[in-house]
Amino acid sequence: LVFVSGTAVSAKCVAWDSNRDLARLQVTAASVTPGENPEDIIFPAVTLAEEAPELGAGLVCIGHLGSEDLEAIEAGVEIGYDVLHLSTGSFCGYAGGQDLQDNSEIGALQHDCWTYWGHSGALLLENKTGKLFGLHSSWDDETGMRRGIALEAIKAFSEGRV
């Protein structure tokens, strides 16, 4: 993994939930500059929201999209976006009748931030608070609505609830 700062790390998976489509990684090694103590490295973190925002609340999606245009007719066409991409949109609620804990096919959270191939796992932050309340996972082919993993699933996974 490479952070925006350029720090490269090795990590191992210490927890995984295929139903929620979530994993927890533990950093096992990090690149350091000469004279830097690896134990002094501070990794960026985000605060988890207490509850989902109101319907229509402004969002920021921070993701790492793929570099290749997977919709181009010829292979290898570069997409031309920066490695780290920010987009804005709104929280559009949850898909009716879908279990918020089940993200095995498509997430229940709905948003309209622009995303592209490779954005899976992108942070969904409430614009007003800057707190994490979801992770982008996919989009609905039928409606075009972007989808994600709900805060409730992230909290349950973080707390070790099955």
What is residue 114's predicted lDDT score, i.e. its pLDDT? 86
Instruction: Give the tens place of pLDDT for each residue, 113-136.
Output: 988 777 889 999 999 999 999 999
What is residue 67's predicted lDDT score, i.e. its pLDDT? 64
Answer whether residue 23 is part of any domain: yes
Count the neighbouring beta carbons within 10 Å of the beta carbon of residue 65. Answer: 20
Residues 69, 22, single domain; the answer is no
Residues 90, 138, single domain; the answer is yes
What is residue 118's predicted lDDT score, i.e. its pLDDT? 72
Residues 21, 76, single domain; the answer is no
Answer whether residue 154 is part of any domain: yes
Q: Which two tokens stand for residue 65?
A: 């999209």
Indicate the number of domains in the chain. Answer: 2
pTM: 0.85
Residues 122, 95, single domain; the answer is yes
Highest mean pLDDT among 6-10, 83-87, 102-106: 102-106
Residues 65, 24, single domain; the answer is no
The CATH number of the domain holding residue 64 is 2.40.10.10
Residues 70, 148, single domain; the answer is yes
Answer whether residue 52 is part of any domain: no
Instruction: Give the tens place of pLDDT for each residue, 1-58.
Output: 877 777 889 999 999 999 999 999 999 988 888 888 877 888 888 999 999 999 999 9
More confident residue, 85 or 68: 85
Tell me how far CA of residue 143 lies from CA of 3, 110, 139, 146, 147, in angstroms: 33, 11, 8, 9, 11
Domain that holds residue 117: 58-158
Residues 86, 153, single domain; the answer is yes
Q: Say yes or no to pLDDT of 80 above 70.
A: no
- Mean pLDDT confidence for 70-82: 71
Residues 78, 141, single domain; the answer is yes
Angle at 13 between CA 7 and CA 19, to 5 degrees: 125
- Mean pLDDT confidence for 93-111: 94
Tell me how far CA of residue 57 lies from CA of 7, 8, 80, 111, 116, in angstroms: 33, 34, 29, 10, 21
Residues 81, 150, single domain; the answer is yes
Residues 28, 71, single domain; the answer is no
Q: Say yes or no to pLDDT of 70 above 70.
A: no
